[in-house]
Amino acid sequence: MLKTNDVAPQDYRNAMAHFAGAVHVITTDGAAGRRGVTVIAACSVSDNPPTVLACLNRQNPSNDLFLNNGVFALNTLAAGQEELANAFSGLTGLSQDERFGLAEWDTISTGAPTLPGALAVFDCQLIDAKELATHRIYFGKVTGLRIGANLKPLLYHDRGYRIL
């Protein structure tokens, strides 16, 4: 079926389910408070200066913490970290403190919580934010990095977690 206009949100979601995406827990901490959220809507923007973006639902006021703290860390999950992905997506009904309690966290450069066992960590200063439709796009300048050794990526495809 080819539609050229009036694409329904459910049809769009069904098509997007064919994307295989990396799974991240995006975190922040600071004066506004600590928060982590499972996201797949995140990607690279540029390598010079190193810049990433992440899209967070702005209809959830708790996500304003990312804006108000002005820092975030993109923790790209590895195989075996599905429990964190589920917890930080709100699926298990845990509080934010309980979600963070499931793993050890440290910090690199911004104070945002970073996950030692992650596939990769991009610690970022928020440099811009743009509201678009239901979401706010956060642009971060990467000010700290960590690369995990010998880990397999956790992917999300066809509405489930997969290991590459």
Ligand X SMILES: Cc1cc2nc3c(=O)[nH]c(=O)nc-3n(C[C@H](O)[C@H](O)[C@H](O)COP(=O)(O)O)c2cc1C
Measured from the CB atom, the residue of 3 and 18 that comes closer to ligand X is 18
Task: Choose which of 27, 28, 38, 69 interacts with ligand X (CB under 6 A).
Answer: 38
- Check binding of 154 to ligand X (CB under 6 A): no
**Least separation, in Å, of the C-beta of 39 and ligand X?**
3
**Least separation, in Å, of the C-beta of 65 and ligand X?**
10
- Check binding of 115 to ligand X (CB under 6 A): no
CA dihedral for 137, 66, 162, 78, sign (positive or negative): positive
Task: Choose which of 32, 51, 89, 153 interacts with ligand X (CB under 6 A).
Answer: 89
**b vs e for 124-143, b when ≥16 Cβ sit within 10 Å of the residue's Cβ?**
bbbeebeeeeebbbbbbbbb
Site string for ligand X, 44-63 (x = CB under 6 A): -----------xxx--x-x-
Residue 110: Cβ within 10 Å count: 23
Task: Choose which of 30, 32, 41, 125 interacts with ligand X (CB under 6 A).
Answer: 41
Task: Choose which of 90, 98, 128, 164 interacts with ligand X (CB under 6 A).
Answer: 90
Residues engaged in binding ligand X (CB under 6 A) = 23, 37-41, 55-57, 60, 62, 88-90, 156
